[in-house]
Amino acid sequence: MLSSWINRWSRNWTTPGLLRDKGVVGMNRRNIGYISKYNDRRLYPLVDDKLQTKLLCQEHGLASPELIGTVTSQFEVRGVVDMVRESTGFVIKPAKGSGGKGILVIEHHDGEEYVKPSGVRINRADMERHVSNILSGLYSLGGSPDVALIEGLISFDQAFAEFTYEGVPDIRVIVFKGYPVMAMMRLSTSASDGKANLHQGAVGVGLDIGTGWAVRGVQYDRPQFAHPDTGHDIFSLKVPQWETLLVLASGCYEMTGLGYLGTDMVLDRRHGPMLLELNARPGLAIQMANGEGLRKRLELIERQPDGVPVAERVAFARKHFARSKEDVANVGMAPIAD
């Protein structure tokens, strides 16, 4: 009885040696070896403030959702209605919000009533109160006064419709010294309440850097082969316009100067990959989604010289980090290489 319990318990644990062989990067190594070594703290505000990120994107010509306007003081709140009059759908979000808090999505409106994706209608006063709450810091870290951003609504690529429950699937690429080293897609589920946060139960799908094909799926850190709500086979997932997306992600290195960066992107039906936001402290769950440690890839990149142009970096990464065809065949799918 006791021995079986110990047995079951020990089956959930591994040894440092095995993890090291797999090249898994732990929290301590990420913090000391990568974040504090390659990310200058002075540059953090560029990514922690979504407004600054957005302005940088416009300056560097990186694709990101259209900025309709910003609201910086309470007396401008009444102007929001005029700002959005011409746009069909739009999103209001706090510049310094975190974890998706305080984001209001409006699909369409007639100037009086505003309709959310869930079908709920709100009126002008509700919307103005939301903006006012953002300004007073209700959603920002530490409650400091904030700025509200109004962005055009992205029309999501229908390719992913069967892979998501309510929410928006986004693609996270870790960019190290400008090279895309690992990628995953986050699919919201009913367990995650439509949010794309992995620890809340979203499915993480590792993506092959070479092709954009799915390589593995995990939910709650454990393997998952189909979307838990739609039942759709995860290995049939392939991200289109993969090259464009990698180029967009890699360009963020020059834009921010941050060496170890998490880039979050979405695919727009008409405009292709668009940068949603950046993260200077990206998590380690991407290793779980890919079934592979980051360390060997990061060490290979550390040996590469500085000053390589974006296109060459992407080509280098696609060549070196691609899964072999046998590997992909192993998991039951035989994708056609593109």
Partner 1 sequence: MSRFAFYLLVSLLMLIGVGLTAYRHISFDVPWVPGAQQKVWDIEAQVTFTATGGPVKASLALPENQKGYSVLTENTASSGFGLSYLDDLPGRRAEWSIREAAGSQLLYYTVTMLESDNSTPAAIKRLPAPQEVSWERPYDTAAAQVIDQARAKSADSFTFARELIKQFDGQRQGENGRLLLTQFDRPDLMLRLLNEAGVSARLVSGLSLEDGRRRQNVSFWLQVFAETPENGQTVDLDSADAEDINTDWVLINPETGKQGEPDNLLLWEGRGAPMLEVEGGVNSRVSFSMIRHNEPAAVAVRNKLANDELLNFSIHSLPLEEQALFKTILLIPIGALVVVLLRVLVGLKTSGTFMPVLIALAFIQTSLITGLIGFLLIVATGLVIRSYLSRLNLLLVARVSVVIIMVIAIISIFSVLAYRFGLNAGLTITFFPMIILSWTVERMSILWEEEGPKEVLKQGGGSLLTAVLAYLAMNNPWVRHLTFNFLGLQLVLMAFILLLGNYTGYRLLELRRFKPLTED
Taking the least distance from each CB to partner 1, the nearer of 65 and 102 is 102
Q: Which amino acid is at 142?
A: G
- When the beta carbons of 208 and 292 are compared against partner 1, the nearer one is 292
Q: x/- binding map, residues 177-206, to partner 1, per CB under 8 A?
A: ----------------------xx------
Nearest-approach distance from CB 330 to partner 1, in angstroms: 9
By CB under 8 A, residue 6 contacts partner 1: no
Segment near partner 1 (CB under 8 A); pick from 23-31, 112-120, 160-168, 274-282: 23-31
Secondary structure in 3-state letters for the chain: CHHHHHHHHHHCCCCHHHHHHHCCCCHHHHHHHHHHHHCCHHHHHHHHCHHHHHHHHHHHCCCCCCEEEEECCHHHHHHHHHHHCCCCCEEEEECCECCCCCCEEECEECCCEEECCCCCEEEHHHHHHHHHHHHCCCCEHHHCCCCEEEEECCCECHHHHHHCCCCCCEEEEEEECCEEEEEEEEECCCCCCCCCCHHHCCEEEEECCCCCEEEEEEECCEECCECCCCCCEHHHCECCCHHHHHHHHHHHHHHHCCCEEEEEEEEECCCEEEEEEEECCCCCHHHHHHCCCCHHHHHHHHCCCCCCCHHHHHHHHHHHCCCCHHHHHHCCCCCCCC
Q: Please, how many CA atoms are within 13 Å of residue 333, restricted to the half-sphere of its CB?
A: 16
Residue 14 vs 88, nearer CB to partner 1: 14
Minimum Å distance from CB 223 to partner 1? 7
Judged by CB under 8 A, the residue of 3, 4, 7, 15 near partner 1 is: 15
Among 22, 232, 238, 271, binds partner 1 (CB under 8 A): 22
Among 288, 298, 314, 328, binds partner 1 (CB under 8 A): 288
- Measuring CA to CA, how many Å separate 332 from each of 93, 215, 225, 337? 41, 10, 11, 15
For tokens 């897609």, what's the residue?
185
User: Contacting partner 1 (CB under 8 A), which of 60, 78, 101, 319?
Assistant: 101
Looking at 11-19, 62-70, 108-116, 171-179, which segment touches partner 1 (CB under 8 A)? 11-19
Among the listed residues 218, 245, 280, 328, the single contact to partner 1 using CB under 8 A: 218
CB of 183 to partner 1, least distance (A): 17
Task: Tell me which of 12, 73, 118, 158 binds partner 1, using CB under 8 A.
Answer: 12
Is residue 287 involved in binding partner 1 (CB under 8 A)? yes
31-90 residues in contact with partner 1 (CB under 8 A) are 32-33
Separation between Cα atoms, residue 272 and residue 186, nearest integer Å: 18
Q: Which of 163, 273, 292, 317 binds partner 1 (CB under 8 A)?
A: 292
Least distance to partner 1 from the beta carbon of 267, Å? 27
**Choice between 152 and 283, CB closer to partner 1:** 283
* Calpha distance 84→94 (Å, rounded): 16
Q: Name which of residues 113 to 142 contact partner 1 (CB under 8 A).
A: 133, 136-138, 142
Minimum distance, C-beta of residue 30 to partner 1, in the bound complex (Å): 9
**Can residue 222 be called a binding residue for partner 1 (CB under 8 A)?**
yes
Binding site for partner 1 (CB under 8 A): 12-16, 18-19, 21-22, 24, 26-29, 32-33, 99, 101, 133, 136-138, 142-143, 199-200, 218, 221-223, 287-288, 291-293
